[in-house]
Homo-oligomer: A and B are copies of this chain.
Amino acid sequence: MKKFINAVDQVENEMIQGMVKAFPQYVKKLDCGNVVVRTQKKEGKVALISGGGSGHEPAHGGYVGRGMLDAAVAGAVFTSPTPDQVYEGIKAIATDAGVLMVIKNYTGDVMNFEMAGEMAEAEGIKVAQVVVNDDVAVQDSTWTVGRRGVAGTVFVHKIAGALAETGAGLEDVQAMAQRVINNVRTMGAAISPCTIPAAGKPGFEIADDEMEVGIGIHGEPGTYKEKMMSADAITDIILDKILGDLDYTGSEVAVMVNSSGATPQMELFIINNHVADVLATKGIKVYKTFVGEYMTSIEMEGMSISLLKLDDDMKKLLDAQADTPAFKQL
């Protein structure tokens, strides 16, 4: 394992410190742990909190700021934060308008956030939640835990965050977050693994001529292995799965081509080139495109493609100003 780190048990801590030192105009850290909140608390609006394990940077600390989140809670690498951490975050940002928890659908995340929500409600704080489950690589069914939440979460932050910023009520913000969740689908693939610092070795092994299709964002292998293929071919596989899952016919979409951490922008753009061509062929209109590191898996070499089916409300909220360390819109 070769990394620019100091000690494996200090990565989360030093990372958060490094982030708040980089962006003091946007974020500060709570004393109680790796919880990052807006430098200036904004009263009179629904407050949004999200989080998960570390290792997904810029998620979620990078999305704390005007027009997106009010707090982000970071657990150990790829490990859901604990209920107390989340609870401290909620307390720090809670307003009379209430708090919306944006949870990614992992057993651990859901349990820990829910426990925190219960603790906060016991204190009289209004809490609502949504669970993001955009990963179409995973079979959805009632008898499993369902799909994972992955890069589509960033659209939830952006759009629900923009609505909250207008002063909308908790139920409306929650409903809008859920509307985004209902309309976003994501799938990814990876060609090399990542290494959790404390584990010291890669999460999976992969041959030089293989790729993992249907990867998650926690360094785990995908839903299946495939022979390495061209960028266009893997893009086709992913788009087929996404377009087969939700009817995008005739609609306008926001596209996100997300890097898992080590994939160079060159490759992301090559992928987007084909995404744009395929969508054009199918008569799906691209309203806006995002290319870059939005929801990573430390230094995994992989990517995901997300398509969000937009309506007029979502378009307006997607276009609204945002000013956070990792997501800015003028």
A residues contacting B by CB (< 8 A) are 2-7, 11, 14-19, 21-23, 54-55, 57-58, 62, 191-192, 194, 208, 211, 228, 230-232, 234, 255, 257, 261-274, 276-277, 286, 289-293, 296, 298-299, 301, 303, 321, 323, 326, 328-330
Contacts and interface: CB of A to CB of B under 8 A. Distances in A.
Contact of A273 (B3, B14, B292): B14
Given A299-B301, A330-B321, A270 B2 contact: no
Given A18-B276, A273-B17, A330-B323, A11 B261 contact: no
A266 B54 contact: yes
Contacts of A4: 191, 231, 234, 263, 267-268, 270-271, 303
**What 6 pairs across the A-B complex have the smallest Cβ distances?**
A18-B273, A18-B269, A57-B265, A262-B262, A21-B276, A328-B328
What's the dominant secondary structure at chain A's contact region? mixed
Contacts of A54: 266
Contacts of A22: 255, 257, 269, 272, 276, 289-291
A284 to B, nearest CB: 13
A321 to B, nearest CB: 7
Given A328-B330, A330-B330, A266 B15 contact: yes
Stoichiometry (number of copies) = 2
B330 A264 contact: no
30 contacts: A2-B301, A4-B263, A4-B271, A4-B303, A6-B270, A7-B230, A14-B231, A14-B269, A14-B273, A18-B270, A18-B271, A18-B274, A19-B269, A19-B272, A21-B276, A21-B286, A22-B257, A22-B289, A22-B291, A55-B266, A57-B266, A194-B264, A261-B264, A262-B263, A262-B299, A262-B301, A263-B299, A264-B296, A292-B326, A293-B293
A162 to B, nearest CB: 14
Contacts of A277: 21
A232 B6 contact: yes
A129 B62 CA distance: 36
A278 to B, nearest CB: 11
A239 to B, nearest CB: 14
Contacts of A265: 57-58, 62, 261, 293, 296
A299 B300 CA distance: 11
Nearest to A211: B2
A62 B265 CA distance: 10
A321 B191 CA distance: 38
Contacts of A211: 2
Contacts of A230: 5-7
A5 to B, nearest CB: 5
A57 B19 contact: no
A303 B18 CA distance: 15
A301 to B, nearest CB: 7
Nearest to A62: B265
Contact of A264 (B232, B298, B323): B298
